[in-house]
Amino acid sequence: MLALVPWYAREARRRPAHLSAGDAAVLALLGLLGIALFSFCLTAGVKMSNASNGSLLTNSQPIFTTLLAPLIINEEFTPLRLVGALLGLAGVALIVTGGRLSAALFRQEYFLGNLVLTGGAVAISVYTVLLKRFVIRFGGLIPTFLTMLAGSLFLAAAVLATGSWRELAALSPAGWLLALYVGVVGYKLLIPVFGILLGFFLLAERPALPTLLGAAVVVGAVLLIQRTAGEQNRRNPAS
């Protein structure tokens, strides 16, 4: 969020946003949903699962956004995007269940963590869909920054309430640099790939075949969805 402050200040001077009290309240709730809850699901889910699944499932957000947008804001739903979303759901299911479609999946090691990670992806998808009307009115930067600010405040309150600030105080300089890197640098589609590779080399994680297959399906589905969305936006710039 701090990395966006100079751009936010510049945009606020150039294009002042006249937010009503209702707008501010909705943006705060979206920050709670898409920033605070998503961050909690990511952190808790990775603790109960692994880094590879965390990178894959939290970045399946475009799949859920594609499915939810027509239901929430009546966004156009093309057949090709539907195919991509359904393929993506199949990939997510493979990762979450580890390929076990029987009662045994409830006893598998990462099942609960994978569900929490998927919940985080759904939360940020709903956030993305509901944020769209503010983006249309105020541009992308201002509402995004304000929801990040609200979400950060919710997270800060949770850290103070739970005493987790002690862990922050104990971070080494390398730990702070890593936190800065995570907060500023994002590769989006490459995150799942690097997540699996770094999990393999640094954490000795060995993804099972269903997870690798699910990963390929999820990445392919996200690429398909984003490609079709880009084509749709070029045809309908105002949508």
Secondary structure, 3-state, 62-103: HHHHHHHHHHHHCCCCCHHHHHHHHHHHHHHHHHHHCCCCCH
Amino acid at the residue 237: P
- Tell whether 16 is covered by a domain: no
238 pLDDT higher than 50: no
Amino acid at the residue 27: L
**pLDDT confidence of residue 184:** 55
- Tell whether 6 is covered by a domain: no
User: Can you say how many angstroms the Cα of residue 141 is from the centroid of all Cα atoms in its chain?
Assistant: 17
Q: Which of 49-58, 76-85, 130-139 is the most confident on average?
A: 130-139
239 pLDDT higher than 60: no
**pLDDT confidence of residue 2:** 66
Q: Is the dihedral of CA 231, 233, 234, 235 positive or negative?
A: positive
CA distances from 103 to 56, 111, 125 (A): 24, 11, 29
Rounded to an integer, what distance in angstroms lies between the CA atom of residue 59 and that of residue 221? Answer: 11
Rounded to an integer, what distance in angstroms lies between the CA atom of residue 71 and that of residue 74? Answer: 6
- Tell whether 10 is covered by a domain: no
- Tell whether 152 is covered by a domain: yes
Rounded to an integer, what distance in angstroms lies between the CA atom of residue 33 and that of residue 31? Answer: 5
* Total domains present in the chain: 1
Q: Which residue has the tokens 């399906």?
A: 217
Rounded to an integer, what distance in angstroms lies between the CA atom of residue 140 and that of residue 237? Answer: 14
Rounded to an integer, what distance in angstroms lies between the CA atom of residue 69 and that of residue 24? Answer: 22
Amino acid at the residue 4: L
Rounded to an integer, what distance in angstroms lies between the CA atom of residue 70 and that of residue 199? Answer: 35
CA distances from 98 to 40, 49, 74, 214 (A): 23, 11, 34, 9
93 pLDDT higher than 60: yes
168: DSSP letter:
H
- Tell whether 223 is covered by a domain: yes
- Tell whether 222 is covered by a domain: yes
CB atoms within 10 A of CB 223: 13
- Tell whether 128 is covered by a domain: yes
Q: pTM above 0.85?
A: no
* Mean of pLDDT values over 215-227: 73
35 pLDDT higher than 70: yes
**Domain limits for position 90:** 21-162+171-235
**pLDDT confidence of residue 38:** 92
- Tell whether 14 is covered by a domain: no
Rounded to an integer, what distance in angstroms lies between the CA atom of residue 221 and that of residue 228? Answer: 11
User: Can you say how many angstroms the Cα of residue 52 is from the centroid of all Cα atoms in its chain?
Assistant: 15
Instruction: Kindly state the tokens that stand for 216.
Output: 């390929």
> Is residue 205 classed exposed, middle or buried when 0-12, 13-18 and 19+ CB atoms within 10 A define those classes?
middle
pLDDT bin (cut points 50, 70, 90) of residue 189 is very low
* Mean of pLDDT values over 47-62: 81
